[in-house]
Amino acid sequence: MATPISDAETVLVVDDDPEIRELIISVLNRQSYHVLEAANGQEALDVASAFAAPIHLIVSDVNMPQMGGWKLLEQLRAWYPSIRFLMVSGYPQREESLAELEGTPTAFLAKPFSANELSEAVRDLLDRPTRRRGNHA
């Protein structure tokens, strides 16, 4: 993990496939994001609760053991009411799932994706305005 630079945006990467997780982390590190990682939703909650600063974006696989991406999003919204969330999956995404997340900047990226597609999706979400900002308790 790269040493965080001051004012760097923090991204939590959550994927149960270590190769995909490392690929995403590598792309984000090259762009000077402060990157945290977790292998599943429960581990992501542990990482988020131990991290003292705000997390700006979650990049999460939809289907994971122990806790998938949608359940993780529900949990983290309690700590970060306007958390930005990029869901990634190799399975088709239901648009109605994203429509239910009013007020939460959320997007879906289908696997496989390129480094450029990932970079653009992350930047787009981070640049979107939110209704409110919050820190976890």
- Helix runs in 31-114, H state only: 41-50, 69-79, 95-99
The radius of gyration computed from the CA coordinates of the chain, to the nearest angstrom, equals 13
Total-model pTM: 0.83
Going residue by residue through the chain, which has 137 residues, state the pLDDT in tens, using 9 for 90 and above.
Answer: 333 344 689 999 999 999 999 999 999 999 999 999 999 999 999 999 999 888 999 999 988 888 888 889 888 888 887 789 999 988 766 554 554 555 567 888 988 999 999 999 999 999 987 654 444 43
DSSP-derived 3-state class of residue 112: coil
Q: Which residues contact 3 (CB under 8 A, 6 or more apart)?
A: none
Q: Which residues contact 97 (CB under 8 A, 6 or more apart)?
A: 70
Using alpha carbons, select from 128, 125, 122, 132 the residue that is nearest to residue 13: 122
Using alpha carbons, select from 18, 17, 20 the residue that is nearest to residue 115: 20
Domains along the chain with CATH numbers: 10-127 (3.40.50.2300)
Side by side, the strands of the sheet bearing 106-110 are: 34-38, 10-14, 57-61, 84-89, 106-110
